[in-house]
């Protein structure tokens, strides 16, 4: 099915992860989608996911987010919940921090988050890749905005399948054009508490420095991304390639 960049009324950041050149072909169309949360989906959105034959949804949000803002799933789809980070972006503690922060504070926070996501959540990434490799059918994976936890997951997957670093970063940065749902939610939740949305702009966007920090952390801790993928995460590249790679005709 040919899809426009955004096809869901209730989530601006839903897009296909496909047609990106990898080691032995390209990512196949119609098998894998990345997204922000599926909390606000309409009935029409759920029907769209059903037409796409979505069989698995992998939720990378925190346990609190999963509990308080559960996904809406299309009929027959299985949910795999893998909790990354703690709390939520609109928790009381986060609001207090945002109110006293500067732009530099927020960028430094995001860099630290990206480093933590690859350093402190190795077990969760192992679960994520095992679920991707083992579960047949069309898969959607997501976090809250679809850019940070999801962005790292996509970057690691593309790297494991042999995509160039330029292609990895291009896919990551493409998220910046699809974040209306996140920005609306944050404005609704935070502006009434006096949070300056311009100050927290680094939280609401993607940045080359964030993903670069994640790869730097991998290099420092594991001596390179190949060792991280193979030894820390135990990725089954052959199974992932069978699921998601095709040879263009």
Residues known to be catalytic: 143
Can you tell me the distance from the alpha carbon of 60 to that of 147, in angstroms, rounded to the nearest whole number? Answer: 11
Residue keyed to tokens 């350093």: 119
DSSP state letter for 229: I
Residue 161's nearest CA partner among 127, 128, 133, 124 is 133
Nearest Cα residue to 37 out of 152, 157, 158, 181: 181
Residues 170 and 136: beta-carbon distance below 8 Å: no
The answer to whether 249 touches 37, Cβ cutoff 8 Å, is no
User: Rounded distance, CA 36 to CA 59, Å?
Assistant: 9
Distance in angstroms between the alpha carbons of the first and the last residue of the chain:
17
Contact 53, 139 (CB under 8 A): no
Q: Tokens 């939280």, residue?
A: 203
Cβ atoms 148, 136 nearer than 8 A: no
């Amino acid at each position: 099915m040919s899809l426009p960049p955004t096809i869901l009324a209730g989530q601006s950041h839903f897009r296909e992860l496909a047609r990106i050149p990898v080691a032995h072909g390209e990512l196949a169309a119609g098998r894998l989608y990345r997204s922000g949360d599926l909390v606000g989906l309409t009935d029409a959105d759920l029907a769209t996911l059903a037409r796409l034959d979505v069989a698995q949804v992998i939720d990378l949000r925190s346990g609190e987010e999963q509990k308080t803002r559960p996904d809406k799933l299309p009929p027959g789809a299985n949910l795999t919940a893998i909790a990354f980070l703690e709390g939520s972006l609109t928790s009381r503690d986060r609001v207090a921090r945002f109110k006293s922060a500067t732009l530099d504070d927020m960028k430094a926070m995001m860099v630290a988050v990206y480093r933590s996501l690859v350093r402190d959540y190795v077990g969760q990434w192992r679960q994520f890749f095992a679920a991707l490799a083992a579960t047949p059918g069309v898969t959607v994976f997501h976090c809250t905005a679809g850019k940070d936890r999801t962005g790292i997951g996509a970057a690691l997957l593309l790297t494991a399948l042999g995509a160039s670093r330029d292609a990895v970063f291009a896919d990551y940065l493409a998220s910046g054009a699809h974040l209306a749902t996140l920005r609306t939610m944050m404005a609704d939740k935070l502006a009434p508490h006096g949070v300056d949305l311009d100050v927290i702009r680094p939280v609401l966007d993607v940045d080359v420095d964030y993903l670069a920090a994640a790869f730097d952390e991998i290099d420092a801790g594991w001596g390179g991304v190949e060792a991280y993928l193979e030894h820390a995460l135990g990725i089954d590249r052959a199974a992932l390639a069978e699921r998601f790679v095709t040879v263009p005709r």
